[in-house]
A and B are shown apart, each in its own frame.
Chain A
Amino acid sequence: MDLSQAYSMMMTDLGATLFLLIVAVSGLVLVVFDAFKPRHVATPWIAGLALSAGFVIEMMSIGAPEGLAWYDMMRTGGSAAFVNSLVLGSGALSIILTVPYLKKIGHNIGEVYAMILFATVGMLVLGAANNLVTVFVGLETMSICLYILTGFVRSESGSTESALKYFLLGAFSTGFFLYGIALIYGATGSMEFGAIRIAAEQSAGVMFWGGVSLLLVGFLFKVSAAPFHMWTPDVYQGAPTTITGFMSTASKAAAFAALVVVLWKALPAERWADVLAVFAVITMVIGNVIALSQQNIKRMLAYSSIAHAGYVLVGLASGSQAGYSGALFYLMVYTIMNIGAFGVLALLEWDGKEGSEQTLESLAGVGYRKPFLGWTMAVFMFSLSGFPPLAGFLGKWAVFAPAIDADLVWLAIIGVLTSAVSAYYYLRVLVVFFMKPEGENSPMAEHSFDIPRSSAAVLIACVVLLVVFGVTTFALDVTSGFFAADTVTQFLG
C-alpha cells in the first residue's frame, strides 16, 4: 500500500462521504451543546438541518455511477446514495414529528436528537458498506443507539423493559452475526464482498456455508423476519411512538440494503434463494395472521412491519436484478407509509399516555373529531394494505413480479393471499375511526388536543409522496438501474 497517497486519498474520500461527516460532526456538536445549554430550542433544528443537508447531497448523487471509497470499505453513488437518502429523509421527518411528541410526553431531552443522529450515522455506514467490517460497525452503531432511544423514557416501565429486551436479544444476535463473519473470513480469507465471491466460486465448503447461515440469522433478526421476530412487537410497542416510526423504517431499510448488497455482490447466486423463500413465507404468514388479533395499534403495526419484511424477502428470494431493485423501491414506499402511520399515532396520544396502553377501541370516532388525522390515516392504511393507486400497490407489484419471473409463482401467490388477509386489520382501524360511535367515557371527550403545524406538514408530505409514487413509475425506474449485471463484473474485475 502506498502510504504517501494516504492523505490525499483521505481528502477525496471525505468529499465523497461528506454527508456522513456532516451528520456525525453535528451529532458530536449536539452532545456538547446540550450539555451546556440543556433543552435549548435550537437542538432539534441543528439535528434536522444536518439530516436535511445530508439528504440533499445524497439525493443529488443518486444518479452518479457506483464508486468505492475508503480503501474499498464503502460504496458511493447509485444504490448506496438511494438508501442513504432514504435513511436521511426518514430521520429528518422523524425529528420533525418527535419535537412536539417529546414535549407532550414531558421528556424533551436534547440527547435524543444526538442519538438519532448517531443512529443515522450507523445506518448510513451500513447501507453503504462494501466490506463485512463496515457492515458490522454500521450495524452496531445503529443498534446501540436504538437500544438507548427505545429506553430513554425512564419513568415509563414499558420503555425500559422493551429496551432491555431489545438489548439482550440484539446483542445475542450480534454474536451469531459476528461468528458468521469469522467463519466466512476463515473460508475465503477476505471480508471484502467482491473477494468473498471470487473465493466462494472457486471453493465453498462447510465452513463458508455455516458462516453464511449465521450471517443470515443475524440479518434476519435485525430486519425482524420470522422466526427471529420475537423482539419486534414488544419493542415497537414500548418505544416512544415517533422513535418506533424511525426505527421501524430507517433501520429496516439500512439493514435490508446491506443484506441486498451482501447477496448481490458476495454470495454466489441460486444457493440461498430457496432458503430466503421459506423465510419469506413464514414471515408473511406469521406477521399477517398474528396482527389480526391485536388490540393495540402500535403492536398491530409491529406485526404488520414483520409482514412487510416478508414482502421484501420475496423480492430478495427471486435473486434477480428486478427483485433487488423492487426490494429497494418497496423499502422506500414502506418508509413513507410507516412514518406517516406512526406520526398519526403519536398525535393521537393526546393525554401523554404511552401508546403501549391505548387500545384501538378507545380511538372510536377520531375520524369525525379530527378529520385530518382520520383521512391521512386512511391513506396510510390503504397504502399499507396495497390498494391501487397508492404506492403500496406498486411496491407490492415490484417485489412479487420478479418472483413470478424467477419461477417462484407459489411464493407470489402466498404473498398476495396474505396481503389480502392484511386488508382486514388495516381497514378495521378505519372502521373504528369512522364508523364506531364515541364511547360514554371516551378519553377524547375529556381531552382536546391540537395538531402541530409541523406534524401536519409531514403527514401531508407523506400522503402526497404515496400518491405520486403510486401513479408514476419514475422512482421504480431509478432503482432498477442500480443492479445491472455489468456493475458486478466491474467490481469483480
Chain B
Amino acid sequence: MLSDFIPFFIQLGIAVGLSFTLLKAAALIGPKRDNVIKMTSYESGMDPIGSARERYSVKFYLVAMIFIVFDVEIVFLYPWAVSFDEFIAAGAGPGVMAVVLFFVIILAIGLVYDIKKGGLEFD
C-alpha cells in the first residue's frame, strides 16, 4: 500500500530538489551589479513612507470580537437543522421551533445591545 506512493515521493523529491538547485545556482553564477535604485523596496515604484507596522484602530478588534461570538453560535443551529425533520415527524415541531427561536432571540438581544452601545459604528 505504501509502495503505491513511491513514484509520488520521487516526483516530490525532484520538484523540491530542482527548485532549490535552481535558486542556489542563480545566486551562485548570476551576475551581481547592485546599485541604489535596485536596492529600494519597490524598484521603479514609489518610495515607501513611514513604518510598515502601523497601529490599527481598536475598532478592528471590536468588530473581530463581535464576529467571533456571533459566528460560532451557528454551531448550535446545525444539529437542530439536521434533526428538525425528525422532530416534525414526531409531532414536536412547533415546540422545538420555539426553543430555537428563543436561542436566536438571545443572540438578537446581544446584537441590539451592541448596536445601541455603538459597537458597530465605524466612523
A–B contact, 8 Å CB criterion (strictly below): yes
Say whether, besides A10-B99, A28-B106, A28-B109, A4 and B90 are in contact (CB < 8 Å): yes
- In the complex, are the beta carbons of B116 and A7 less than 8 A apart? no
Bound CA span A40–B116, Å: 16
- In the complex, are the beta carbons of B113 and A7 less than 8 A apart? no
B87 CB to closest chain A CB, in angstroms?
6
Option from B91, B92, B95, B109 in Cβ contact (under 8 Å) with A32: B109
Does A3 reach chain B (CB closer than 8 Å)? yes
Chain A residue nearest to B115 in the complex (CB): A35
Does B117 reach chain A (CB closer than 8 Å)? yes
Chain B residues, Cβ within 8 Å of A36: 116
Does B112 reach chain A (CB closer than 8 Å)? yes
Bound CA span A363–B116, Å: 43
- For chain A, the bracket of interface size reads 10 to 19
Bound CA span A5–B110, Å: 32
A167 CB to closest chain B CB, in angstroms?
14
Does A31 reach chain B (CB closer than 8 Å)? yes
Bound CA span A4–B95, Å: 10
Does A6 reach chain B (CB closer than 8 Å)? yes
- In the complex, are the beta carbons of B116 and A35 less than 8 A apart? yes
A349 CB to closest chain B CB, in angstroms?
29
- In the complex, are the beta carbons of B90 and A32 less than 8 A apart? no
Most chain A CB within a 10 A radius of its CB, from B90, B106, B112: B90
- In the complex, are the beta carbons of B92 and A3 less than 8 A apart? yes
- For chain B, the bracket of interface size reads 10 to 19
B76-97 interface with A by 8 A CB criterion:
86-87, 89-92, 94-96
- In the complex, are the beta carbons of A7 and B96 less than 8 A apart? yes
Chain B residues near A (Cβ < 8 Å): 86-87, 89-92, 94-96, 99, 106, 109-110, 112-113, 116-117
Chain A residues, Cβ within 8 Å of B110: 31
Bound CA span A264–B11, Å: 61
Bound CA span A28–B103, Å: 12
Chain B residue nearest to A28 in the complex (CB): B109
Say whether, besides A35-B116, A35-B117, A7 and B109 are in contact (CB < 8 Å): no
- In the complex, are the beta carbons of A6 and B87 less than 8 A apart? yes
Chain A residues, Cβ within 8 Å of B95: 6-7, 10
A1-38 interface with B by 8 A CB criterion:
2-7, 10, 28, 31-32, 35-36
Chain A residues, Cβ within 8 Å of B113: 31-32, 35
8 smallest A-B Cβ distances: which pairs? A7-B95, A3-B90, A35-B116, A4-B90, A6-B92, A7-B92, A35-B113, A4-B91
A84 CB to closest chain B CB, in angstroms?
22
Chain A residues, Cβ within 8 Å of B94: 7
Chain B residues, Cβ within 8 Å of A32: 109, 112-113
Chain A residues, Cβ within 8 Å of B112: 32, 35
Say whether, besides A10-B95, A32-B109, A3 and B116 are in contact (CB < 8 Å): no
Bound CA span A32–B95, Å: 25
Give the interface SS of chain B, mostly helix, strand, loop or mixed: helix
13 example contacts (A-B, Cβ-Cβ < 8 A) are as follows A2-B90, A3-B89, A4-B90, A4-B92, A6-B90, A6-B92, A6-B95, A7-B96, A10-B95, A31-B113, A35-B112, A35-B116, A36-B116
B22 CB to closest chain A CB, in angstroms?
46
Bound CA span A4–B90, Å: 5
Chain A residue nearest to B114 in the complex (CB): A35
Chain B residues, Cβ within 8 Å of A4: 90-92
- In the complex, are the beta carbons of B109 and A31 less than 8 A apart? yes
Chain B residue nearest to A114 in the complex (CB): B113
Chain A residue nearest to B116 in the complex (CB): A35
Q: Besides the contacts A4-B92, A31-B110, what 12 more A-B pairs have beta carbons closer than 8 Å? A: A3-B87, A3-B90, A4-B90, A6-B96, A7-B92, A7-B94, A28-B106, A32-B113, A35-B113, A35-B116, A35-B117, A36-B116
Bound CA span A348–B58, Å: 37
B29 CB to closest chain A CB, in angstroms?
53
Chain A residue nearest to B90 in the complex (CB): A3
Q: Mark A314-340, 1 if CB is under 8 A from B, else 0.
A: 000000000000000000000000000
Bound CA span A249–B115, Å: 35
A281 CB to closest chain B CB, in angstroms?
42
Bound CA span A2–B89, Å: 11
Chain B residue nearest to A6 in the complex (CB): B92
Option from B86, B106, B117 in Cβ contact (under 8 Å) with A3: B86
Bound CA span A35–B115, Å: 9
Bound CA span A3–B112, Å: 34
A109 CB to closest chain B CB, in angstroms?
11
Bound CA span A5–B92, Å: 8
Chain A residues, Cβ within 8 Å of B117: 35
Chain A residues, Cβ within 8 Å of B92: 3-7
Bound CA span A452–B50, Å: 57
Bound CA span A4–B87, Å: 7
Bound CA span A78–B109, Å: 34
B94 CB to closest chain A CB, in angstroms?
8
Chain A residues, Cβ within 8 Å of B91: 4
Bound CA span A441–B116, Å: 47
Chain B residues, Cβ within 8 Å of A7: 92, 94-96
Bound CA span A3–B94, Å: 12
Bound CA span A285–B37, Å: 71
Chain B residues, Cβ within 8 Å of A3: 86-87, 89-90, 92
Chain A residues, Cβ within 8 Å of B90: 2-4, 6
Chain B residues, Cβ within 8 Å of A35: 112-113, 116-117
B86 CB to closest chain A CB, in angstroms?
6
Bound CA span A2–B92, Å: 10
Bound CA span A36–B112, Å: 10
Bound CA span A4–B92, Å: 6
